């Protein structure tokens, strides 16, 4: 079985809570967009911009970023 090629992940958005996360994951799943989620540690390192406690970073494969942003109605990265 051939080894799968690693895909570059990009951060799509940060969900403020589990409810927002569940909604976004449901929408992305319906469109067949694979997602990785990282729960932010409220006592973790120094972030450049503050985020709400217990928020979730949502990552997608770079090749799916445009479609995922469209599904969630998000603007592109600055």
> What tens digit of pLDDT does each residue of 42-65 get?
665 555 555 566 789 999 999 999
> What is the spatial distance between Cα 41 and Cα 73, in angstroms, rounded to a whole number?
26
Most confident of 44-48, 64-68, 73-77: 64-68
Radius of gyration (C-alpha) of the chain in whole angstroms:
14
Collapsed DSSP state (helix, strand, coil) of residue 35: strand
- Within 8 A by CB and 6+ apart from 31, the residues are 67, 68, 71
What tens digit of pLDDT does each residue of 1-51 get? Answer: 345 666 799 999 999 999 999 999 999 999 999 999 998 866 655 555 555
- Helix (H), strand (E), coil (C) string for 50-75: CCCCCCEEEEEEHHHHHHHHHHHCCC
> What is the spatial distance between Cα 40 and Cα 70, in angstroms, rounded to a whole number?
24
């Amino acid at each position: 079985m051939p080894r799968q090629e690693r895909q570059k992940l990009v951060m799509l958005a940060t969900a403020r809570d589990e409810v927002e996360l569940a909604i976004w994951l449901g929408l992305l799943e319906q469109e067949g967009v694979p997602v990785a989620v990282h729960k932010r540690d409220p006592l973790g390192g120094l972030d450049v911009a503050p985020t709400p406690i217990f928020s979730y970073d949502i990552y997608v494969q770079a090749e799916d970023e445009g479609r995922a942003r469209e599904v969630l109605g998000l603007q592109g990265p600055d």
